[in-house]
A and B are shown apart, each in its own frame.
Chain A
């Protein structure tokens, strides 16, 4: 029988939540790496027992952990992230130039075909690649050549937070950075270009047509239609139908188009999910009601999903890497909150239950569907 394994990164450790395919009864692990900030854990699509984890600490820096037995045991692998050559400078909050400094790994993206190949999105924003299962890391420096001197940190830092590999073309990779924008390589990371046309918010940028400087919070694709991209931006929910060459607004009737995560149903490429957040000043749901919004039309027409979610006095946030979907026949949707709850809907969003309520603030949620 199928089962699911949910990998949860929190401010104070990692947790693994497991269930059979019914997704009714869950086992919650003890914390792994207790006390460390676990930014992200993700399994290899070709070898689900191979899981990579980003473990970090303000005291002791960055570690990359790797498991080859589905998260039962872990091994610290390479943690040296050295920018290629002279790291140079990027724009600082006051408009001056500031040296690039490695801080942490925000996101790990294993290859779709090779369990030893994995990409790391780091702060200060750059993309690193390992071809030996995380033992050593090399930067793909031409991402920062895409006008990196004009990038500047968002309030949460300047991290490469999203990496998406095109399942139909492993040489095409998308990366998204706050607050720089979306970038694409078509040659496996040798060269990158900004793909931010159409991201226009006049009050965010002096030049709304600027190539870079856009505060992109998250992008998502459906594997069957890799040229269609969905984006949750600082403000605006956006869509591109041409691999990011042009974006257009699909916020439609959302109560607010601010938010962090966005994801796509596993079997319905036009069904997408967001969690509207009141504003960039108030990072919690409008009216204290935690609502996931679903569009079955690829955007513009959205319905609130509330069954099982708190509809009063709820003031949590859902961070950009904290939503995921499984690929069971009835697609499961998962998200974690800064209040430490991890919710699951086993029926594509119609009903929700908390898997666990009292974890540390959740940074990331990934789901492995095991058959």
Chain B
């Protein structure tokens, strides 16, 4: 199972009580595959992390895995590191520290 950490506002929107959710993600486990699985399980998150039409990451959302910032990597082809795929480390979605 893939562990995903959601920011506070997305947890409340998805009505998730815990910091993390666990998702079954088919191989290859890319950023896009994780987001697809996340949105399939929590439809209220569609459009909140990436744009509906372009599926581009929203400007103030960031992706981290094993202390690496993957926000600017191509989501469809960027495979997540082995510790993420084994469930040892979470894939972290962050609302950027910006604004007030």
Contacts and interface: CB of A to CB of B under 8 A. Distances in A.
Interface in B21-73: 44, 46-49, 51-53, 58, 60-61
B58 A59 contact: yes
Contacts of B99: 58-59
Given A79-B47, A80-B47, A60 B52 contact: no
Nearest to B96: A59
Given A80-B52, A82-B52, A82-B53, A60 B44 contact: no
Contact of B44 (A36, A58, A76): A76
Nearest to B60: A59
Interface string B1-21: 000000111100100000000
A76 B95 CA distance: 20
A252 interface: no
Given A62-B47, A76-B44, A57 B52 contact: no
A63 B43 CA distance: 11
A84 to B, nearest CB: 12
B44 A61 contact: no
B67 to A, nearest CB: 22
Nearest to B94: A59
Contacts of B51: 61
Given A36-B9, A79-B46, A80-B47, A60 B61 contact: yes
Contacts of A288: none
Contacts of B95: 59-60
A35 interface: yes
Identify the interface centre among B9, B95, B98: most chain A CB within 10 Å of its CB: B9
A59 B96 CA distance: 8
Contact of A58 (B8, B47, B49, B60): B60
A58 B96 CA distance: 10
A66 to B, nearest CB: 12
B61 A80 contact: no
B53 A61 contact: no
A63 B48 contact: yes
Contacts of B9: 35-36, 57, 59-60
B58 A60 contact: yes
Contacts of B61: 59-60
B87 to A, nearest CB: 26
B49 to A, nearest CB: 7
Interface string A64-82: 0000000000001001101
A139 to B, nearest CB: 13
A275 B48 CA distance: 36
Given A59-B60, A59-B61, A60-B95, A80 B48 contact: no
Given A58-B99, A80-B52, A63 B13 contact: yes
Contacts of A59: 7, 9, 58, 60-61, 95-96, 98-99
A336 to B, nearest CB: 20
Interface string B82-100: 0000000000000110110
B96 A61 contact: no
Given A59-B9, A60-B10, A61-B47, 12 more contacts: A35-B9, A59-B7, A59-B58, A59-B61, A59-B99, A60-B13, A60-B49, A60-B61, A63-B13, A63-B44, A80-B46, A80-B47
16 contacts: A58-B60, A58-B98, A59-B9, A59-B58, A59-B61, A59-B95, A59-B96, A59-B98, A59-B99, A60-B9, A60-B13, A60-B49, A61-B47, A62-B47, A79-B48, A80-B47
Interface of A: 35-36, 57-63, 76, 79-80, 82
